[in-house]
Amino acid sequence: CQANRMMLESPENTRRVLTFLALMAASLIGLLLLPPIHQDQNYHDFADQRTILGVPHFWNVVSNVLFVAVGVVGVAQFRRDAAIALLFLAILMTGFGSAYYHLDPNDQTLFWDRLPMAIAFMTILAMAVGERLDAKTGAILLWPLIAIGVFSLLLWRWTGDLRPYGWVQFFPCLVLPVLFLRFPPKYSCTSYWLIAAALYVLAKLFEFNDGAIYSVGSILSGHTLKHVAAAAACFAILRHFQKRQPIRVASV
């Protein structure tokens, strides 16, 4: 314990934390250099338009049950850990928000799809900072990061500008690999995070090839498979928390 405390309070660790905070602030300020980004209305035109059992866009709607299932298990199992429970609550609500959106895809319903995802992205970022850089910093950043995520979507609804939400979605994608590759873990089972990252990349590939995948037999669309892959990524994260153990640092 003493060795861990000395490591966390070392000048080197302080420098790393300050570097991360400076990078985060610079990237947020750098958004001002970009032109406003508006929601492409073609985004709502998904390939699979089928109504089945009276449910429009059936498979894009019902595939969200996978997020709900992972979220329910995570919240139930980790209800005593606020940060982890919040993450899985966000995953749970992503299932409901995405299902609601796909029943009637438009900007208004898309807000409720993206809101819990933004909370999940920011929670994962704060937890990664806590595990790889400094536990206290990660805990302090949790709620400010969540506030940034929520505000980014409110700003989109108020102004039509997606730049802040783009940061919420893609800044963790750029920073997390650096944190995981550059700094040692405090817990075992890091491989589950790597599996989750690979599945998330696969989900984005499915999303970008929505129509092309659906054109092969008109069975399932790329967007439906995106939900499956993204839910599998969430399950990999769940397995990480179920199996991880603290990595002991030798006393010096």
- The 10s digit of each residue's pLDDT in 136-177 is 999 999 999 999 999 999 999 999 999 999 999 999 989 999
What is the mean predicted confidence (pLDDT) over 18-29?
A: 92
240, two tokens: 């990480």
Residue 230's Cα: distance from chain center in Å? 10
The per-residue pLDDT of the chain, averaged, comes to 92
66-93 as b/e: b if 16+ CB within 10 A: bbbbbbebbbeebeeeeebbbbbbbbbb
What is the mean predicted confidence (pLDDT) over 96-114?
A: 98
pTM score above 0.95 = no
What is the mean predicted confidence (pLDDT) over 27-37?
A: 91
State the pLDDT confidence band at 36, using cuts at 50, 70 and 90: very high
pLDDT exceeds cutoff 70 at 5: no
Q: Give the C-alpha separation, 92 to 104, whole Å.
A: 20
Q: Give the C-alpha separation, 57 to 67, whole Å.
A: 17
